[in-house]
């Protein structure tokens, strides 16, 4: 009888250990039980102020978000830092898989997406988008010697493309049924082109203008053939009251000229869209 009781107690102790083990597993705090603390989107603002940190989802996307040493900088990054200051909280930049951006937002792992995000109807079905603040387009990037050989977008149809997974560029390539390789970031798409692994990269024009051509990081590459017209916005959880706070912030920094000063630092003054809430 004693042996039986000892075995039962041992089994119960083992089960308790497993329950505690698995309940503590997860990639981050949002999956370690804190997800239950995330309020309704209508209470995002008070939630962020209470936790004292604004978590911003980004990718390596110069001149909007990119690393300078250990810190994130760029037009979007500087503007996000100013917004966090307005809220009275610290800022944390989290480099994300762009293809998972909506899921990360919904799970509360990030508070918003501030990374040159193209506003589309499909996107607005799943998240709340700010009013646009930058104009943009998707463009072809090629090696300098190829730009003169391929004089139109149509003449590139049989080439191998590279793009960022989950991006507007990928949607365009799928729609046109072009062959392509998808990468984790636009930078990786440009690196693949530079190394000769692909023939053309499709990236955001604001990035191509900053990172290609003489004196730029990818000096052997050039861009042409805009494929569309689009606008850039910030993304929130559907129904988030943080959107209203950002609307007011943007209206103010357009009015006092702060946003023009930041944009001029990164050569984006001509791409600004007058913000209206």
Nearest to 244 by CA among 75, 112, 108: 112
132's tokens: 């646009």
Instruction: Give the CATH number, domain containing residue 129.
Output: 3.40.190.10
Mean model confidence pLDDT for the chain: 88
d(CA 230, CA 166): 16
Among the listed ranges 34-38, 128-132, 170-174, 216-220, which one has the minimum average pLDDT value? 34-38
Average pLDDT value for residue range 227-255: 95
Task: Give the HSE-up count for residue 49: Cα atoms under 13 Å, Cβ half-sphere.
Answer: 10
Q: Are residues 128 and 239 in the same domain?
A: yes
DSSP track, 221-243: EEEE-----EEEEEEEETT-THH
Note whether residue 237 is domain-resident: yes
Q: What's the structural domain count of the chain?
A: 2
Identify the H or E element spanning 146: helix 144-147
- pLDDT, tens digit (0-9, with 9 covering 90-100), for 54-73: 999 999 999 999 999 999 99
The size of the chain, in residues, is 277
Q: Report the C-alpha gap between 2 and 266 in whole angstroms.
A: 76
144 lies in the same domain as 116: no
Q: Which two tokens stand for residue 190?
A: 């440009």
Instruction: Tell me the percentage of the chain whose pLDDT exceeds 70.
Output: 86
Query: What is the domain extent for residue 128?
Result: 38-135+230-271
Q: What is the pTM of this model?
A: 0.80
In a domain, 19, yes or no: no
Q: For residue 33, is it within any domain?
A: no
Residue 29 covered by a domain: no
Shared domain check, 241 and 109:
yes
Q: Is residue 13 part of a domain?
A: no
Same domain as 236, residue 117: yes
Model pLDDT for residues 131-185, shown as the tens digit of each residue: 999 999 999 999 999 988 998 989 999 999 999 999 999 999 999 999 999 999 9
């Amino acid at each position: 009888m004693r042996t039986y009781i000892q075995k039962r107690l041992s089994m119960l102790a083992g089960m308790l250990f497993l329950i505690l083990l698995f309940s503590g597993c997860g990639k981050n705090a949002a999956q370690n039980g804190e997800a239950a603390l995330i309020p309704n989107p209508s209470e995002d603002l008070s939630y962020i102020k209470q936790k004292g940190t604004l978590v911003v989802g980004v990718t390596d996307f110069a001149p909007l978000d990119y690393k300078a040493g250990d810190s994130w900088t760029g037009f979007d990054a500087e503007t996000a830092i100013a917004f966090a200051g307005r809220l009275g909280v610290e800022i944390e930049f989290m480099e994300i898989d762009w293809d998972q951006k909506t899921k990360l937002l919904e799970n509360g792992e990030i508070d918003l997406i501030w990374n040159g995000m193209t506003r589309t109807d499909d996107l607005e079905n799943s998240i709340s988008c700010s009013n646009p603040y930058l104009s943009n387009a998707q463009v072809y990037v090629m090696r300098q010697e190829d730009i003169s050989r391929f004089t139109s977008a149509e003449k590139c149809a049989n080439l191998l493309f590279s793009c960022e997974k989950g991006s507007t560029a990928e949607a365009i390539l799928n729609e046109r049924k072009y062959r392509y390789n998808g990468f984790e970031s636009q930078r990786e798409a440009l690196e693949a082109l530079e190394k000769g692994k692909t023939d053309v990269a499709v990236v955001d024009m604001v990035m191509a203008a900053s990172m290609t051509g003489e004196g730029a990081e990818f000096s052997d590459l050039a861009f042409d053939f805009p494929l569309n017209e689009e606008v850039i916005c910030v993304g929130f959880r559907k129904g988030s009251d943080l959107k209203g706070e950002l609307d007011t912030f943007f209206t103010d920094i357009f009015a006092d000229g702060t946003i023009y000063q930041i944009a001029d630092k990164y050569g984006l003054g001509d791409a600004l869209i007058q913000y209206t809430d």
